[in-house]
């Protein structure tokens, strides 16, 4: 048993989290993670409306009686979703853990607090983590440069970012980016984290509702098979290497603007990758952890393996290092 501040304060068995992933964080995956003793997050904005989110929460409850949460990512948008209504749906559905990401969650914190909801905020820098702690979140997820999606603009890898954050934070912290196995879990704990968050690794599990060809591509890929797009726009995103992401990088290098790549990076195209298995239909998030993924286990198998191997590493291999 691996007991940490995070498992104690968030009421879960193992310090392993499946964070929100657009088009991926659905009931089947979230419930499988929960049933295995981890913490899974439904991705709120994958659901077209707040009422659809309510139904997805109920579907998840039909599949598990363990704790799970909902991710709400707030990003700049020409036509922003009705965030307040999604928050209301979460609270009225009785969900007690929320993962926030993107913009500052402060406007919604009073509503979460009043409803007894614990808030875990995703950060890509120590300064953002300190700000999140100051405004009253219950925990932070610190994302190193290795992570899929948006790693921020500081380019600080986990080996530095995790202990730098641990040194100054007082609330529980989980580590994200480049973690896919027991070695990453033990390393994160040694660096000062209270648990780990994994995206790409959970993307490549039996219960992940994406096309099998995408999972097989993740297994085939190495740590070299990602691209950093939107670098010139100061909105960096790490995505899988494919025909589309390479084209976006070329357009940026030639001086192109967002308008020049808008059609290529449309979310609907990325959704086609996951749902139809057309690996070059659009961009899709994947982290450097691809290089550590060599199978497609169930969530139960993955979490049990990670915990068992982590315990062995801590009690045997590392214990033997001490004279």
> What is the C-alpha to C-alpha distance for residues 180 and 200, in angstroms, rounded to an integer?
8
- 218 has pLDDT over 90: yes
pLDDT at residue 148, rounded to an integer = 97
**Domain 5-210, CATH 3.40.50.300 — does that match?**
no
d(CA 303, CA 205): 11
> Looking at the chain, which residues constitute the CATH 3.20.20.70 domain(s)?
5-210
Give the global pTM.
0.96
From the list 73, 318, 114, 63, the residue with the least C-alpha distance to 199 is 73
pLDDT at 19: 93
pLDDT of 296: 98
Given this model, what pLDDT does residue 83 score?
96
- 244-252 long-range CB contacts below 8 Å, 24 or more apart? 244/269, 244/280, 244/281, 244/282, 244/283, 245/283, 248/283
**Separation between Cα atoms, residue 240 and residue 227, nearest integer Å:** 6
- pLDDT tens digits for 260-288? 999 999 999 999 999 999 999 999 999 99
Q: What are phi and psi of 174, to 5 degrees?
A: -110, 155
- For residue 77, pLDDT over 80 is answered with no
Contact assessment for residue 57 and residue 93, using Cβ atoms and an 8 Å cutoff: yes
pLDDT for 25-51, tens place per residue?
A: 999 999 999 999 999 999 999 999 999
What is the average pLDDT across 15-24? 96
pLDDT tens digit sequence for 83-102? 999 999 999 999 999 999 99
């Amino acid at each position: 048993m691996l007991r940490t501040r995070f498992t104690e304060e968030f009421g879960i068995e193992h310090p392993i989290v499946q964070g929100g992933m657009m088009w991926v964080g659905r009931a089947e995956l979230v419930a499988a993670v929960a049933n295995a003793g981890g913490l899974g997050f439904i991705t709120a904005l994958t659901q077209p409306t707040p009422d659809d989110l309510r139904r997805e929460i109920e579907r998840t409850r039909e599949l598990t009686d363990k704790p799970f949460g909902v991710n709400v990512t707030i990003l700049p948008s020409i036509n922003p979703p009705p965030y307040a209504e999604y928050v209301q749906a979460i609270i009225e559905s009785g969900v007690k853990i929320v993962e926030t990401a993107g913009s500052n969650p402060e406007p919604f914190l009073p509503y979460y607090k009043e409803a007894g909801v614990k808030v875990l905020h995703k950060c890509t820098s120590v300064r953002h983590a300190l700000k999140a702690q100051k405004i009253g979140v219950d925990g932070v997820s610190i994302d190193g440069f290795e992570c899929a999606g948006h790693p921020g603009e500081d380019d600080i890898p986990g080996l530095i970012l995790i202990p730098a954050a641990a040194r100054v934070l007082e609330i529980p912290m989980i580590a994200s980016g480049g973690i896919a196995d027991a070695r990453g879990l033990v390393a994160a704990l040694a660096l000062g984290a209270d648990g780990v968050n994994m995206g790409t690794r959970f993307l490549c599990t039996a219960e992940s509702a994406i096309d099998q060809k995408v999972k097989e591509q993740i297994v085939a890929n190495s740590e070299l098979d990602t691209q950093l797009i939107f670098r010139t726009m100061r909105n960096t995103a790490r995505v899988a290497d494919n025909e589309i992401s390479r084209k976006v990088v070329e357009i940026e290098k030639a001086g192109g603007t967002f308008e020049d790549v808008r059609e290529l990076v449309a979310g609907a195209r990325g959704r086609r990758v996951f749902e139809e298995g057309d690996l070059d239909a659009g961009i899709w998030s994947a982290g450097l952890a691809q290089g550590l993924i060599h199978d497609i286990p169930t969530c139960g198998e993955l979490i049990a393996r990670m915990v068992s191997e982590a315990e062995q590493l801590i009690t045997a291999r590392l214990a033997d290092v001490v004279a």
